[in-house]
Amino acid sequence: GAVVSQHPSRVICKSGTSVKIECRSLDFQATTMFWYRQFPKQSLMLMATSNEGSKATYEQGVEKDKFLINHASLTLSTLTVTSAHPEDSSFYICSARHGGRAHNEQFFGPGTRLTVL
Amino acid sequence: DQQVKQNSPSLSVQEGRISILNCDYTNSMFDYFLWYKKYPAEGPTFLISISSIKDKNEDGRFTVFLNKSAKHLSLHIVPSQPGDSAVYFCAASGETQGGSEKLVFGKGTKLTVNP
């Protein structure tokens, strides 16, 4: 149990286009999902916290108009990178918090590799 | 300012020996600590955790030790196996963001277990 999926796993797009990444909790309901970004050889950096039915909470320095987050249901959160530029190329990972499990135990998706040309 | 630090970017160990991965933190408000294992191009996988009210938690070959006074925790893997080769992230929680606790990660330590 506690499986989180992400789609797509890899995407290459042209500069200026928008890209949507989906994060799904497959076998549990997640009222809270998190979006992270990881640069090579760096830590996972939290971008935003997504709560079902309410607006996402963004970390300092993350542009909410550029990284649109929608958490429409208890099993799905989406991250849309709008007007993507090469500097947005990164590994994006989502996680979902399983409310029925131990304190703040988050389960991570497999990640999405975004390359902006 | 990095609140969770993993000062060793890499560690190499012989199969069958003990692997010790270290992690330091600066925020005394952290009350729960987790270790994740990550393979390239994959998401992190939860390994083991420990609450600040404990100083040790064991799960099979994995043991996490917490020294609150030193703000230090370590992950012991014994015996180490080649399949343990991965990047290990230390994470801490206790901070809140909009009412939800968030995890703060270290930069990771790449463990290589040699056959």
Q: Which pLDDT value is given to residue A82?
A: 96
| Closest residue, chain A, to B87 (C-alpha) | A41
Whether B20 and B76 have beta carbons less than 8 Å apart is answered as: yes
Name every chain A residue with its beta carbon within 8 A of the beta carbon of B29.
Answer: none
Whether B28 and B71 have beta carbons less than 8 Å apart is answered as: yes
Q: Which pLDDT value is given to residue A88?
A: 95
Q: Provide the shortest C-alpha distance from residue A43 to chain B (in Å).
A: 4
Q: Which two tokens stand for residue B54?
A: 């404990």
Higher pLDDT, B42 or A69: A69
| Closest residue, chain B, to A91 (C-alpha) | B41
Whether B35 and B47 have beta carbons less than 8 Å apart is answered as: yes
Q: Which two tokens stand for residue B111?
A: 């463990």
Q: How far apart are the first and last CA of chain A?
A: 37
- B89 to A106: CB separation less than 8 angstroms, yes or no: no
Instruction: Answer whether residue A99 shows pLDDT above 70.
Output: no
Whether B94 and B29 have beta carbons less than 8 Å apart is answered as: yes
Q: Which pLDDT value is given to residue A78?
A: 95
Measured CA to CA, the distance from residue B8 to residue B110 in angstroms comes to: 8
- B44 to A103: CB separation less than 8 angstroms, yes or no: no
- A108 to B9: CB separation less than 8 angstroms, yes or no: no
Instruction: Answer whether residue B27 shows pLDDT above 70.
Output: yes
Size of interface A-B (CB pairs under 8 A): 67
Q: Which two tokens stand for residue B38?
A: 């990550």
Q: Which pLDDT value is given to residue A111?
A: 92
Strand locations in chain A (E): 4-7, 10-13, 19-25, 32-38, 44-51, 57-58, 67-73, 76-81, 90-97, 106-108, 112-116
| Per-residue pLDDT tens digits for B67-110 | 999 999 999 999 999 999 999 999 998 765 555 567 889 999 99
Please give the C-alpha separations between residue A8 and each of A12, A66, A93, A113, A114, in angstroms, as whole numbers. Answer: 10, 19, 11, 8, 9
- The shortest CB-CB distance from B43 to any of A51, A57, A108 is to A108
Q: What percent of chain B has pLDDT over 90?
A: 75
Q: What is the mean pLDDT of residues B61-65?
A: 98
| Per-residue pLDDT tens digits for A32-73 | 899 999 887 788 899 999 888 888 999 989 999 999 999 888
Is B22 an interface residue toward A (CB < 8 Å)? no
Q: Which pLDDT value is given to residue B29?
A: 87
pLDDT band at A104 (very low <50, low <70, confident <90, very high): low
Q: What is the mean pLDDT of residues A99-108?
A: 68
Burial of B20 (0-12, 13-18, 19+ CB in 10 A): middle
Q: Which pLDDT value is given to residue B100?
A: 57
Q: What is the mean pLDDT of chain A?
A: 89
Residue among A54, A89, A90 at smallest CA distance from A69: A54
Q: Which pLDDT value is given to residue B7?
A: 92
Q: Provide the shortest C-alpha distance from residue A83 to chain B (in Å).
A: 24
